Amino acid sequence: MTEVKRVYTFGNKQAEGNATMKNLLGGKGANLAEMNLIGVPVPPGFTITTDVCTEYNTLGRDKVVELLKGEVERAMSFVEETMNAKFGSKGEAFPLLMSVRSGARVSMPGMMDTVLNLGLNDDTVKLIAEKSGNEKFAFDSYRRFIHMYGSVVMGVEAENGEHDPFEVVLDKVRDAKGYQSDAEFTVEDLKGIVDSYKVVVREKAGKDFPTNPWDQLWGAVCAVFDSWNTERAILYRRMEQIPGEWGTAVNVQAMVYGNMGENSATGVAFSRDASTGENLFNGEYLINAQGEDVVAGVRTPQEITLEGSRRWAVRGGVSEDERAAKFPSLEEAMPELYAELDAVQEKLEKHYSDMQDLEFTIQDGKLWMLQTRNGKRTGAAMVRMVVEMLKEGMIDDETALLRLEPNKLDELLHPVFSADGIDAANVLSKGLPASPGAATGKIVFSADKAEEIVENDPKAKVILVRRETSPEDLKGMYAAQGILTERGGMTSHAAVVARGMGKCCVSSAAGIRVDATKLTIDGKEYKEGEWISLNGSTGEVYEGQVPTITPSLDGDFGEIMKLADKYTRMYVRTNADTPHDAKTAADFGAKGIGLCRTEHMFFEGERIIAVREMILAENEEGRKEALKKLLPMQRSDFEGILEAMDGHGVTIRLLDPPLHEFTPNDEKSQLEMAEELSIPVEEIIAKVDALHEINPMLGHRGCRLGNTYPEITEMQARAIIEAACNLRARGLDPKPEIMVPLVGTVNELKLQEEIIRRVAEEVFAEKGLKVEFLVGTMIEIPRAALTANEIAKHAEFFSFGTNDLTQMTFGYSRDDAAKFLPIYLNKGLLKNDPFQVLDQTGVGQLVEMAVEKGKATRPDIKLGICGEHGGEPSSVEFCHRAGLAYVSCSPFRVPIARLAAAQANVRK
């Protein structure tokens, strides 16, 4: 039996792992190894694999510590040698301190916070003070360590309504001494703080702070494994569909100190702009700081580049003199180190061929890299970077296509504020443009509230207003239109998470204060429920509701779409019922209509009266009378739609829903209809009752209507063919495809086809001209899929109606599924909502079977999909593999489907 390797070391330009080992070492660990291999300076350390996390969950803590002990001790000796220091030094060497960092395959908020300065106790702190000659640095590190370890590992945190007990201690000292900033703490202050912290731990955790460095280490390592299964980590995994089996790795790494004095610093940086995609190195740093100080929003971080710093000053109204004096860029403050950092970021971007998100620390004039990863980005930045990297020759067409996340294109299609709206709007404040886009909504002050409101009314628009956000707020951030925070920089939690979600966010807005029940801006108070608007691209905060408009689709976006079209096999149609929607979709690149629902036109204006007349008619005569009134209206609708999609196929579905959807159900419309038809209202009521069905979705609907009332099909076929003839007479090129819904047996389709073709011949004879048209069916009843070979004899095309097909295959009523689907998803009984993501294993089999059987009968049968799934990337990929010619989706999903279709073809 071969020994399992559980620990991988890195350091000194060597590493046992590399970038390809993300599954085993996590993203952070794999990249720490890789950076060593390409000669980037990284503090040495070791990674405990993700497999150990799985072992931990099955074998438990004691067994896993036993399994790891030997390898970890060996790895620690390697670090000690490299650093020329000793973990738990008794005086013979400089004490080695470690950071303990979690790191899954993909970066995951909700995981354990990093613990820094591990290895400190009353003895080592004195040694460090002595050997570094910097007592203040030693005790600053010690108080940070007790705070972090106390809260992260020992669970000493604010209890309901209280403040963080460690912060309370700090506040007391600050207030007593009248300090403005933490830099003013003296060594004596820090020593006192350390003593008070120990008391806090003893009181709150019920035990003493551990003094043995090895106990500290195992405590932190196990806390990382434990954090894999916290509620917030599980929630995040569910939202992002990350499997629980992946586990997290643990990175244990030698500390480097950004808090050693004025020649030390720490920062985060991006090789390109994560908001706009501009090819401009950027980021933030703080002198004499450690760890999360830069993103915590306690001190105002400074910009790394001079260009960035100048832009920052302009945005914030800071004069050039003040900027240069108080907030100089790293480029100005430490020019040589800046040059080194700039070279490293360039090297890393080239190496990974993608925008990098970097963390670094400068210890006493020496640069260390602590992390690199492909940076999160907005949809706009994603598109711009791909187009520019393609032009630079950094990536090829296929890489470019596959790097784009189809769903993120959505952000580019969504509204921005209208120029007039902006002109008229009252600017309340200006903050950092933390995540672009426009949002308008009602103020809420807690994530739970945001979630609750949107759960009750999915159309509700709320803006989450917080002092700052934390991983607990994730769900509320998802629910909100946008996020406004009082504190935090461009790399704050709110900013980073919002960009990842494509949500608009403004942070650090000037002059605002947020507490639990109100937002105060320059003295004026705003309560929950009042409207505000945010522009995440400029940082502006507006009073009230500002109107929005749809953005343009040229430029980089156009290039991406061109590229997609070059590589795609399937084309994309749209589901549209009006000429306006057809036009919108055509602008988004739709080539035809995959589903035009005729009944959606029935509610407009006076039409519903004629529709009701038809439904309430006593006999065929009466129905025909009413249908005569509907004919010209339908004809002109079809003319409009066929014209908007001239030259492209337009699939028009014959009447589908159960008739009672159109009956007058309230007293007022019943009286209106009684008057219209000159009959007593009692008769109307009786007729409405008679139309009532126990289970309407499985009742008298679809082609069952056209087969029991053939005159309806006659009228609709006539309207379609006449519309096409009229357009042809005007020199246009209409391509109608008449679709019979809800077919389960071939005879149902056959009867409908006969009617349609007979009416068409009549119209052609009357008009003295012909147009080509197709007759086909929707495959949405399982029996149709099973007998597709028979059905294909009478169908020139199949369009998979995967909404009904899913409903009938699962036996879930789509209208009632909301009662149990969320619970099923929670319990993991289903991986996805099958109405959103096509169930490839079950429903997919029916699709594949119907494709095969349909082609066997009619090799050139035209195949497409028109369910909601036609715009969902993984379902689009399935359609590609199943051999469909096109997918059809709602207008705003057309670009997403085009990209997904191209990716499917590139990936194969």
Nearer to Mg ion, 402 or 697 (CB): 697
Considering the complex, state which of residue 26 and residue 436 has its C-beta at the smaller distance from ligand ADP: 26
State in angstroms the smallest separation of the CB of 83 from ligand ADP.
11
For the CB of residue 131, give the shortest distance to Mg ion in the complex, in Å.
28
Tell me how many residues contact Mg ion (CB under 5 A).
5
Residue nearest to Mg ion (CB): 804
Measured from the CB atom, is 304 or 703 closer to ligand ADP?
304
Among ligand ADP, Mg ion, none, residue 266 binds (CB under 5-8 Å by kind): ligand ADP
DSSP designation for 2: P
Q: Are 719 and 707 in contact (CB under 8 A)?
A: no
Stretch of 56-64, 120-128, 784-792, 797-805 lying at the interface with Mg ion (CB under 5 A): 797-805
Residue 101 binds which entry of Mg ion, ligand ADP, none, CB below 5-8 Å type-dependent: ligand ADP
What residue type is assigned to position 60 of the chain?
G
Identified binder of ligand ADP from the candidate list 156, 256, 362, 443, rule CB under 6 A: 256
Nearest-angstrom CA–CA distance, 743 and 779? 7
Residues labelled catalytic = 493, 866
Beta carbons of 626 and 610 less than 8 angstroms apart: yes
Closest CA relative to residue 50, chosen from 2, 1, 114, 111: 111
Rounded Cα distance, 646 and 651, in Å: 13
Question: Do you know the residue count of the chain?
Answer: 908
71's contact among ligand ADP, Mg ion, none, with CB below 5 to 8 A by partner kind, is none
Closest approach of ligand ADP to the CB of residue 469, in Å: 14
Alpha helices in 735-882 (DSSP H): 746-767, 782-786, 788-791, 802-810, 821-826, 843-857, 873-882
Q: Closest separation between CB of residue 121 and ligand ADP, Å?
A: 19
Residues 6+ apart with CB under 8 A from 29: 8, 17, 21, 47, 103, 249, 251
Which of the choices ligand ADP, Mg ion, none does residue 806 contact, using the CB cut-off of 5 to 8 A by kind? none
CA distance 474 to 110: 9
Least distance (Å) between residue 784 CB and ligand ADP: 52
Give the nearer residue to ligand ADP in terms of CB position, either 266 or 440: 266
Contact 247, 72 (CB under 8 A): no
Task: Report what 293 binds from ligand ADP, Mg ion, none; CB cut-off 5-8 Å by kind.
Answer: none
802 binds, among Mg ion, ligand ADP, none (CB under 5 to 8 A by kind): none
For the four alpha carbons of 22, 27, 28 and 31, in that order, the dihedral sign comes to: positive
> CA 708: distance to chain centroid?
47
Residues 307-346 that bind ligand ADP (CB under 6 A): none
Candidate list 114, 141, 508, 663; residue touching ligand ADP; CB under 6 A: 114
Token pair 């955790």 is found at: 205
Which single residue is written with the structure tokens 């994530």? 447
Q: Binding string, 72-111, against ligand ADP, x = CB under 6 A?
A: ---------------------------x-x----------
What is the x/- site pattern for ligand ADP, positions 6-45, by CB under 6 A? -------------------------------------x--
Q: How many CA atoms lie within 13 A of 766 on its CB side?
A: 11
Write down the residue that tokens 């080239």 correspond to: 350
Tokens of residue 326, six digits: 């108080």
Binding mask 199-238 for ligand ADP (x = CB under 6 A): ----------------------------------------
Give Cα 300 to chain centroid, integer Å.
Answer: 29
And the tokens for 882? 């199943």
User: What residue 804 binds from Mg ion, ligand ADP, none (CB within 5 to 8 A, per partner kind)?
Assistant: Mg ion
Task: Please say which residue, 152 or 808, places its beta carbon nearer to ligand ADP.
Answer: 152
Contacts from 172-177 at CB under 8 Å and sequence distance 24+?
A: none
What are 227's two structure tokens? 């954090």
Q: Is 804 in the site for Mg ion (CB under 5 A)?
A: yes
Q: Which residue has the tokens 């933390």?
A: 434
Among ligand ADP, Mg ion, none, residue 801 binds (CB under 5-8 Å by kind): Mg ion
Nearest residue (CB) to ligand ADP, 291 versus 891? 291
Q: Does 134 sit near ligand ADP (CB under 6 A)?
A: no
Integer angstrom CA distances of residue 241 from 108, 237, 478, 768: 12, 5, 15, 59
The pattern of x and - marking residues 752 through 791 that bind Mg ion according to CB under 5 A reads ----------------------------x-----------
To which residue do tokens 């006969």 refer?
754
What is the Cα–Cα distance from 256 to 283, expressed in whole angstroms?
20
Q: What SS3 class is residue 574?
A: strand
577 binds, among Mg ion, ligand ADP, none (CB under 5 to 8 A by kind): none
Given the complex with ligand ADP, which of 329 and 363 has the nearer CB atom? 363
Among residues 379, 548, 542, 380, the alpha carbon closest in space to that of 463 is found at 542
Closest distance between Mg ion and the C-beta of residue 562, in Å? 34
Q: 95-96 and 86-87 as β-strands: parallel, antiparallel, unpaired?
A: parallel
Residue 475 Cα to chain centre, angstroms? 12
Which residue has its beta carbon closest to ligand ADP?
101
Question: Residue 232 has which token pair?
Answer: 């917030």
The distance of closest approach from Cβ of residue 100 to ligand ADP in the complex, given in angstroms and rounded to an integer, is 8
Q: Which stretch binds ligand ADP (CB under 6 A): 252-260, 377-385, 554-562, 827-835?
A: 252-260
Among ligand ADP, Mg ion, none, what does residue 99 contact (CB within 5–8 Å per kind)? Answer: ligand ADP
Return the residue of 359, 473, 639, 753 that touches ligand ADP, per CB under 6 A. 359
Number of H helices, E strands in the chain: 37, 34
Interaction between residue 266 and ligand ADP (CB under 6 A): yes
User: What stretches of 858-907 show up as alpha helix (H) in DSSP?
Assistant: 873-882, 894-907
Does 331 sit near Mg ion (CB under 5 A)?
Answer: no
Member of 283, 744, 801, 864 binding Mg ion (CB under 5 A): 801
CB of 32 or CB of 541, closer to Mg ion: 32
| 371 lies in the site for Mg ion, by CB under 5 A | yes
Q: How many angstroms separate the most distant Cα atoms in the chain?
A: 107
Closer residue to ligand ADP, CB minimum distance, 363 or 535? 363
Q: Who contacts 316 (Cβ-Cβ below 8 Å, separation ≥6)?
A: 430, 510
Residue 124 contact, options ligand ADP, Mg ion, none, Cβ 5-8 Å cut-off depending on partner type: none
How far is residue 714 from each of residues 387, 453, 630, 760, measured CA to CA in Å? 52, 47, 12, 9
Contact call for residue 253 and ligand ADP (CB under 6 A): yes
Q: Does 469 bind ligand ADP (CB under 6 A)?
A: no
Site string for ligand ADP, 275-314 (x = CB under 6 A): ----------------xx----------------------
Of Mg ion, ligand ADP, none, which one does residue 381 interact with (CB within 5 to 8 Å by kind)?
Answer: none
Give the N- to C-terminal CA distance of the chain in Å, as an integer.
Answer: 38
165 touching Mg ion, by CB under 5 A: no
- The tokens of 81 are what? 């040698």
Smaller CB separation from ligand ADP, 101 or 687: 101
Identify which of residues 296 and 751 has a Cβ nearer to ligand ADP in the complex.
Answer: 296
Residue 169 has φ and ψ, to the nearest 5°, of -60, -45
Q: What is the Rg, in whole angstroms, of the alpha carbon atoms belonging to the chain? A: 33
By CB under 6 A, name the one of 146, 370, 401, 490 that touches ligand ADP.
370
Q: Which two tokens stand for residue 546?
A: 């500002």
- Which of ligand ADP, Mg ion, none does residue 664 bind to, with CB < 5 to 8 Å depending on kind? none
Cα dist. 889→319, 586, 755, 867 in Å?
51, 12, 29, 7
Token pair in block for residue 805: 């097909």
Q: Which residues are near Mg ion by CB under 5 A?
A: 359, 371, 780, 801, 804
Binding site for ligand ADP (CB under 6 A): 43, 99, 101, 114, 116, 253-256, 266, 291-292, 359, 361, 370-371
